[in-house]
Amino acid sequence: MFVEVEEGIDGLIHISDLSWTKKIKHPAEFTQIGADIDVVVLEIDKENRRLSLGHKQLEENPWNQFENQFTVDSVHEGKITELNDKGAVVSLGENVEGFAPARQLTKEDGSTPKVGDTLPFKVTEFSKGTKRIILSHVRTYDDTKRAAEGAAKAERRAEADQASASVKKVNAAVEKTTLGDLSALAALKANMEEAEAKPTAAEAAPAAEPKPKKAATKKAATEEPAAEATETAAE
């Protein structure tokens, strides 16, 4: 866009210096011949007698605020303003647009949105340098499903862990009881074996020596003199 600053002095505004947010393809989309416009002198090239002007520099760069507003994974309502084979241009509010690739436009019921539809979009990429916001409608419901499935899996895992802990606790109690019973049985067996090993009172007493039979001794003493008398008589 050529702008007459003063009579005989023209300057050039590059299309990228017209707006911070709007993607202008032709200056006619922004203004028209004969209209007044405020400009800022950006550069003076004396040798080539060239004057570079800007219009958007009159305002603060809103992308400084957009950087905090349209963070990655944040969800915003957007209106589709343009639609083509590559995707859709989405208006996110005054003076800010984003782009949603075609594969990220499908609705949850499988249908394709149209121009004028307002849908929730999730920010998947933000670039302050290139002034680009990439959006996805699919992620708004797909991520919700995944989050719900993840929560359900986590709940089932927690229940399984709790059940496993309960089983381990019961097994430990049973094992402790069994070991206690075995210990009691082992002690009882040891007492029985010890009792069997001890001799009874009758077995412990020493055997009594047999007493000499007095009658037999007397008889023997009596028989010996008789035998001697018989032998004498015989002689």
Residues 138-197: pLDDT tens digits? 999 998 777 776 666 777 777 777 777 777 777 776 666 665 666 677 777 777 777 777
State if pTM tops 0.85.
Answer: no
- Give pLDDT tens digits for 70-104: 999 999 999 999 999 999 999 998 788 999 999 99
* 199 in a structural domain: no
Query: Domain containing 119: what range?
Result: 63-136
* 11 in a structural domain: yes
In this prediction, residues 109-117 reach a mean pLDDT of: 93
| CATH code at position 114 | 2.40.50.140
Least confident of 7-21, 183-197, 207-221: 207-221
- 87 plus 51 within the same structural domain: no
Residue 133 above 70 pLDDT? Answer: yes
- 42 plus 74 within the same structural domain: no
Confidence tier at 231 by pLDDT (50, 70, 90) = very low
* 225 in a structural domain: no
* 231 in a structural domain: no
Dihedral Cα 119, 123, 128, 131, nearest 10 deg: -40
Total domains in the chain come to 2
- 108 plus 81 within the same structural domain: yes
- 82 plus 129 within the same structural domain: yes
- 72 plus 48 within the same structural domain: no
**How far, rounded to the nearest angstrom, does the alpha carbon of residue 233 sit from its chain's CA centroid?**
132
Query: Where is pLDDT greater, at 163 or 111?
Result: 111
Query: Where is pLDDT greater, at 142 or 222?
Result: 142
